[in-house]
Amino acid sequence: MAASSQNTSVGFIGLGIMGKAMARNILKAGFKLTVFNRTPEKAAELVQEGALLAESPAAVAAASDIVFTCVPDTPDVEKVLFGPGGVVEGAEAGMVVIDCSTISATATMEFAARLKEHEIDLVDSPVSGGPQGAVNGTLSCMIGGDDAVVTRCMPVFEAIGKTFVHIGPTGAGQITKSCNQLVICATMMGMSEAVALCKKQGIDPEKMRQALVGGAARSFVMENHCKRLIDETLDPGFRAALMLKDMKLAMTVGRDAGVFMPSTTLATQMLTALSETERAGLDSAAVGLVFQELSGIR
Amino acid sequence: MAASSQNTSVGFIGLGIMGKAMARNILKAGFKLTVFNRTPEKAAELVQEGALLAESPAAVAAASDIVFTCVPDTPDVEKVLFGPGGVVEGAEAGMVVIDCSTISATATMEFAARLKEHEIDLVDSPVSGGPQGAVNGTLSCMIGGDDAVVTRCMPVFEAIGKTFVHIGPTGAGQITKSCNQLVICATMMGMSEAVALCKKQGIDPEKMRQALVGGAARSFVMENHCKRLIDETLDPGFRAALMLKDMKLAMTVGRDAGVFMPSTTLATQMLTALSETERAGLDSAAVGLVFQELSGIR
């Protein structure tokens, strides 16, 4: 039976910028919502709006049919699922975990197998669209999981996103998210070189950008990241440290699968250079500054 | 005074797929048009439609106020301008050459200086938008040249294109075209890795592509080149050999200016690998096949 706000209790673990906005949209859609966050103060607004605050991931699981996790990295997912007071301690058989974190695809498949021992299904659904997409409920969800389980979860998905592609079995969502991030970074390598070339030649990079977005070089990256780089408005946005984490995830899945990935290797190195020069907190588009420095511009 | 179809005779040298379509749109806009092509048979249709056929670039220049050149590479432009029977032999002082070829920015600046000795102005205006854009008169033009000269030429430009960005002085159009091509190639490096990763992991790359074009990884390349690669519909399109030529032009301008360009270096190498395995005639998106082969997929 598909989930509905009448017959389904939802849990949400991890109320960061993304998670809090997603949880709010689930609440607005009429689902009973139980939340947990390591720092409980971050749940205060949601509680005022009608969410129940649980004391542990286990308590969230005990109150819920479907539990979302949205935490920073692979070890954080492992901890909320399997650590002390974790999801498996409270869950009944038949519960579903939807992990919206961007983490290792390999670990996701391992976690799915471990959850299966408790008769819990894991759906991985990393998202694209950023904080604004989370607030507006217009996220793009890259979904991996069993057909029947994903179908059952769709009404809850529809509360948080707009575009849903069920890619394949558990782990396929994470692999697709890696593809998403590495394509963005590959384009950022090109835009960084283009901006450096224009600056070095005394050409207004903004005029170049305007010409490119009118033709076959157009992209979200040229519209947004390139504009940020040119204007040097580099407050995140999406932090370079997180993009570096995502490139390392892509490198790991590529290494495990044996895939030739020179562009992702380059992007990883350039983001490493940005991070190691104390700029990990800037927007990922700041990687273009390194290209300019290495061209003697800055 | 701005050019108009009443007071301006136009010449066109180089009636390839792009040039012929552009020349036809100039004719349709009501300009008197004189054409030259190395293989005169390719001019037959245009002559039926009202164009005059000249016997040499010099004869085109003698009959024209503004002469377009649209030929494959830097030496071809040099030949039609300065070779035997070239443009400078027939041109009167005050004539303008608009070069729509994609050639070396450095050579463009040299050609401009040599033309200036004959009191001829050079405007570089490489285009983006492909054969379909040329036919429909919707090309994007990246224009380099003196303000007054470019302004004078605008009515003729409007016959061939839709988007016009006057980037800067002569040569700036070519540098911007290099930026356009290197950003496309950088994105193609990423999409090639993404498709290889999905194939190696047993994930349908088309589902990945659909997820990506709905989010921040969206681009013309993911919409078009990536689809071609997945479907293996690799008839050009835009031939890999031409894209390799364009990457070499970008590398040259980057080298001359002293710009750090690792992504363009990578793209040049991957396109070289495609060309040297006898696939230079395929669409440039075929570069993704090399990534698959190097990942043990094909």
Indicate the pTM of the whole model: 0.92
pLDDT digits (tens, 9 = 90+) for A213-234: 988 999 999 999 999 999 999 9
Contact A257 B168 (CB under 8 A): no
Compute the Cα dihedral for A145, A147, A150, A154 and give only its sign: positive
- For the residues A186-201, what does the mean pLDDT come to? 98
Spatial CB neighbours of B295, under 8 Å, sequence gap ≥ 6: A257, A258, A259, A260, B196, B199, B200
What was the pLDDT predicted at A245? 96
Contact A176 B163 (CB under 8 A): no
- For the residues A139-159, what does the mean pLDDT come to? 96
Residue ranges, CATH 1.10.1040.10, chain A: 175-294
Residue A130 has pLDDT above 80, yes or no: yes
Contact B201 A257 (CB under 8 A): yes
Upper half-sphere CA count for residue A284 (Cβ side, 13 Å)? 27
Backbone conformation region of residue B232, classed left if phi is above 0, alpha if psi is from -120 to 50, else beta: left
pLDDT digits (tens, 9 = 90+) for A60-87: 999 999 999 999 999 999 999 999 999 9
pLDDT digits (tens, 9 = 90+) for A263-297: 999 999 999 999 999 999 999 999 999 999 999 99
Residue A5 has pLDDT above 90, yes or no: no
ipTM exceeding 0.85, yes/no: yes
Contact A168 B219 (CB under 8 A): no
State the smallest CA–CA distance between residue A115 and chain B in angstroms: 22
Contact A190 B200 (CB under 8 A): no
Write phi, then psi, for B144 (nearest 5 degrees).
-120, 130
pLDDT digits (tens, 9 = 90+) for B240-265: 999 999 999 999 999 999 999 999 99
What was the pLDDT predicted at A259? 98
CA distance A11 to A156: 11
Q: Which CATH number fits domain B175-294: 3.40.190.170, 3.50.50.60, 1.10.1040.10, 3.40.50.720?
A: 1.10.1040.10
Query: Can you give chain A as a three-state secondary structure string?
Result: CCCCCCCCEEEEECCCHHHHHHHHHHHHCCCEEEEECCCHHHHHHHHHCCCEECCCHHHHHHCCCEEEECCCCHHHHHHHHHCCCCHHHHCCCCCEEEECCCCCHHHHHHHHHHHHCCCCEEEECCEECHHHHHHHCCEEEEEECCHHHHHHHHHHHHHHEEEEEEEECCCHHHHHHHHHHHHHHHHHHHHHHHHHHHHHCCCCHHHHHHHHHCCCCCEHHHHCHHHHHHHCCCCCCCEHHHHHHHHHHHHHHHHHHCCCCHHHHHHHHHHHHHHHHHHCCCEHHHHHHHHHHCCCCC
Residue B1 has pLDDT above 80, yes or no: no
Residue A111 has pLDDT above 70, yes or no: yes
Packed helices A240-257 and A105-116: angle between N→C axes, nearest 10 degrees? 70
pLDDT-derived band at A1 (thresholds 50, 70, 90) equals low
Contact A200 B257 (CB under 8 A): yes
DSSP letters of B154-203? HHHHHHHEEEEEEEESTTHHHHHHHHHHHHHHHHHHHHHHHHHHHHHTT-
Q: Which residues of B touch A250 (CB under 8 A)?
A: 197
Q: Which residues of A touch B194 (CB under 8 A)?
A: 179, 182-183
Cα nearest neighbour of B187 on chain A: A187
Give me chain A's average pLDDT, please.
Answer: 96
What was the pLDDT predicted at B215? 86
Task: Look at A124 and B216; give whichever has higher pLDDT.
Answer: A124
pLDDT digits (tens, 9 = 90+) for B81-113: 999 999 999 999 999 999 999 999 999 999 999
Q: Which residues of B touch A166 (CB under 8 A)?
A: 207
What was the pLDDT predicted at A159? 96
Buried/exposed code over A46-64 (b: 16+ C-beta within 10 A; e: otherwise): beeeebbebebbbbbbbbb
Task: Give CATH superfamily name and number for A9-170.
Answer: NAD(P)-binding Rossmann-like Domain (3.40.50.720)
What was the pLDDT predicted at B260? 98
- Of A57-61, A127-131, B157-161, the poorest mean pLDDT is in A127-131
Measured between CB atoms, which of B204, B212, B257 is closest to A180? B212
CA distance A237 to A221: 13
CA distance B112 to B98: 11
Residue ranges, CATH 3.40.50.720, chain B: 9-170
Q: Which residues of B touch A243 (CB under 8 A)?
A: none
Measured between CB atoms, which of A219, A224, A291 is closest to B220? A219
- For the residues A106-110, what does the mean pLDDT come to? 94
Residue B43 has pLDDT above 70, yes or no: yes
What was the pLDDT predicted at A6? 77
Known catalytic residue at A200: no
What was the pLDDT predicted at B221? 97
Amino acid at the residue B224: N
Contact A263 B264 (CB under 8 A): no
CA distance B243 to B226: 16
Measured between CB atoms, which of A129, A175, A266 is closest to B198? A175
The residue among B192, B259, B269, B292 with the most chain A CBs within 10 A of its CB, best to mutate, is B259
Contact A197 B261 (CB under 8 A): yes
State the smallest CA–CA distance between residue A296 and chain B in angstroms: 8
Measured between CB atoms, which of A198, A217, A258 is closest to B200? A258
